[in-house]
């Protein structure tokens, strides 16, 4: 995955990358602090397809530690979902203080997550809906924090952001309920509070519609990637509130009547 020499612009200053630089190498260099987040990237580094973007996720992910979850979402009830593995280093429990150096940007989203009690490993036959649902143990209120290894969220080609772990920054997981089958996510109320003030209060809000459809898609997508979904993994299923960018030092709470609240302090 090598390309010709490229030029990135960071705060107006060009940074020349060697001819051997690949997108995974660039993203890892930014994560390690060896390069500042770029405001633009040479077009030769943009993945040509979604499959190429997922391949970059896999390459980068091998340097990010164990996978403890996934994020999956879709732009409409009929749209093809998109996903990224979430690594344990960015997963926090209810009430956690998320260290300031975890994310540069803090895009807050309230989501519904599902923890798998049983693994869905790679296999030749597709996983059925019944098999996927039977593997779920609990449902959870979740806060996902969007971030980016580039200069600004959503500022570059969508496949660059897809390759960058779908702009994942951190995930905070609240207590779970085993009564998840009685949950109607499409009609569930969600309240998002920022520093104690209500920022969002409405019904539903997930553009993808039914999140269980996405779990089935993810089980088979992850199997084709040779990863599967591990036992204990939490899959968060897309924003119900949109993304609200906040400053460091913010307290956040997301709550769903059927699931309860999840809270975090973003240091």
The model's pLDDT over 3-31, given as tens digits with 9 standing for 90+, comes to 333 444 434 444 455 556 899 999 999 99
Q: How confident is the model at residue 47 (pLDDT cuts 50, 70, 90)?
A: very high
Could you identify the residue written with the tokens 């989501």?
Answer: 111
Q: Please, what is the average pLDDT of the chain?
A: 93
Domain positions in the chain are: 1-45, 52-57+65-266
Pair 45, 56: CB distance under 8 Å: no
Q: What is the arithmetic mean of pLDDT over 40-57?
A: 97
Radius of gyration of the chain (CA): 18
For the domain spanning 52-57+65-266, the CATH number is 3.90.850.10
Per residue in 52-106, pLDDT (tens digit) is: 999 999 999 999 999 999 999 999 999 999 999 999 999 999 999 999 999 999 9
pTM of this structure: 0.93
pLDDT tens per residue across span 233-267:
999 999 999 999 999 999 999 999 999 999 999 99
């Amino acid at each position: 995955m090598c390309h010709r020499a490229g030029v990135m612009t960071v705060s107006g200053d060009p940074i020349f990358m060697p001819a051997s630089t690949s997108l995974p190498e660039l993203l890892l260099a930014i994560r390690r602090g060896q390069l500042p987040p770029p405001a633009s990237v040479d077009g030769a580094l943009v993945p040509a397809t979604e499959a190429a973007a997922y391949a970059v996720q896999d390459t980068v992910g091998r340097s990010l530690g164990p996978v403890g979850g996934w994020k999956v979402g879709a732009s409409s009830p009929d749209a093809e979902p998109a996903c990224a593995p979430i690594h344990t280093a960015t997963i926090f429990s209810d009430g956690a203080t998320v260290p300031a150096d975890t994310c540069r940007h803090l895009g807050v989203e309230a989501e519904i997550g599902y923890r798998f009690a049983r693994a869905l490993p790679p296999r030749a036959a597709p996983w059925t809906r019944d098999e996927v649902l039977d593997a779920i143990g609990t449902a959870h209120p979740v806060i996902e924090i969007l971030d980016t290894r580039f200069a600004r969220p959503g500022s570059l080609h969508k496949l660059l952001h897809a390759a960058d772990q779908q702009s994942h920054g951190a995930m905070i997981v609240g207590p779970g309920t085993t009564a998840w089958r009685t949950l109607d996510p499409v009609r569930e109320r969600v309240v998002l509070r920022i520093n104690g003030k209500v920022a969002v209060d409405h019904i539903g809000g997930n553009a993808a519609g039914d999140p269980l459809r996405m779990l089935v898609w993810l089980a088979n997508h992850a199997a084709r990637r040779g990863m599967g979904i591990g036992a204990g993994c939490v899959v968060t299923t897309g924003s119900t509130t949109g993304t609200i960018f906040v400053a460091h030092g913010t307290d956040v709470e997301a709550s769903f009547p059927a699931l309860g609240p999840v809270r975090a302090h973003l240091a």
